[in-house]
Chain A
Amino acid sequence: MQKFLSYDRGLERFNPLARVITYDDFDTGFNGWLDLTPNYVYDNYESFPSVVDLSSWAPNQLSSGAMRFASSHGSMEGTYSLKLTTAPTGRAHTEPPAPGSMGHAIKRLSSFGNPSLIQIEAWYSYTPVQDREGKGEEDIRAIGFFFDVQDPEYRYMPGVRYVNSLGGQLVKKWQFYQVGPDVTPEDWNFGVADGWCVPGIDNQWYGRRFADGSADGYQWVPGGEQDLLYNESPDKINWLYLRLTVDVEKREYVELQSMDKVFDLRGISPTLVPGYHSIDNLINPVFFVETDTNRSVNLYIDSVVYSTE
Chain B
Amino acid sequence: MRISDDFATLAYEAGWATEAVFFVQTEGDHPDLTVAVEVSPDGVNWIRRAGATLPASQSLVDVPVASFGNWLRVVITGATSEQPARVLVHVNLKG
Could you tell me which A residues sit within 8 Å of B by CB distance? 44-45, 55-56, 58-59, 61-64, 66, 68, 80, 83, 85, 87, 100, 129-131, 296
Contacts and interface: CB of A to CB of B under 8 A. Distances in A.
Contacts of A45: 27
Given A66-B42, A131-B44, A61 B14 contact: yes
A85 B13 CA distance: 11
Nearest to B69: A66
Given A45-B27, A64-B15, A66-B15, A59 B10 contact: yes
A61 B73 CA distance: 13
Contacts of A56: 1
A111 B7 CA distance: 42
B27 A61 contact: no
Contacts of B15: 64, 66
Interface string B30-53: 000000000000111000000000
A131 B40 CA distance: 13
A233 B65 CA distance: 33
B52 to A, nearest CB: 21
B44 A64 contact: no
Contacts of A59: 10, 12
A138 B32 CA distance: 42
B interface, by DSSP: helix, strand, loop or mixed?
loop
Contacts, number: 41
B70 interface: yes
Given A44-B28, A61-B14, A66-B15, 12 more contacts: A44-B27, A56-B1, A59-B10, A62-B16, A64-B15, A66-B43, A68-B42, A85-B10, A129-B11, A129-B43, A129-B44, A130-B44
26 contacts: A55-B1, A58-B10, A59-B12, A61-B12, A61-B13, A62-B13, A62-B14, A63-B13, A64-B13, A64-B15, A64-B70, A66-B15, A66-B43, A66-B70, A66-B71, A68-B44, A80-B16, A83-B13, A85-B10, A100-B10, A129-B11, A129-B43, A130-B42, A130-B44, A296-B10, A296-B11
A127 B14 CA distance: 19
Contacts of B12: 59, 61
Interface in B3-29: 10-16, 27-28
A87 B10 contact: yes
B16 to A, nearest CB: 6
Contacts of B1: 55-56
B18 to A, nearest CB: 14
Nearest to B42: A68
Nearest to A61: B13
Contacts of A66: 13, 15, 42-43, 70-71
B12 to A, nearest CB: 6
Contacts of B27: 44-45
Nearest to A58: B10
A270 B14 CA distance: 38
Contacts of A100: 10
A50 to B, nearest CB: 15
A68 B45 CA distance: 10
Nearest to B9: A59
A44 B1 CA distance: 13
Contacts of B43: 66, 68, 129
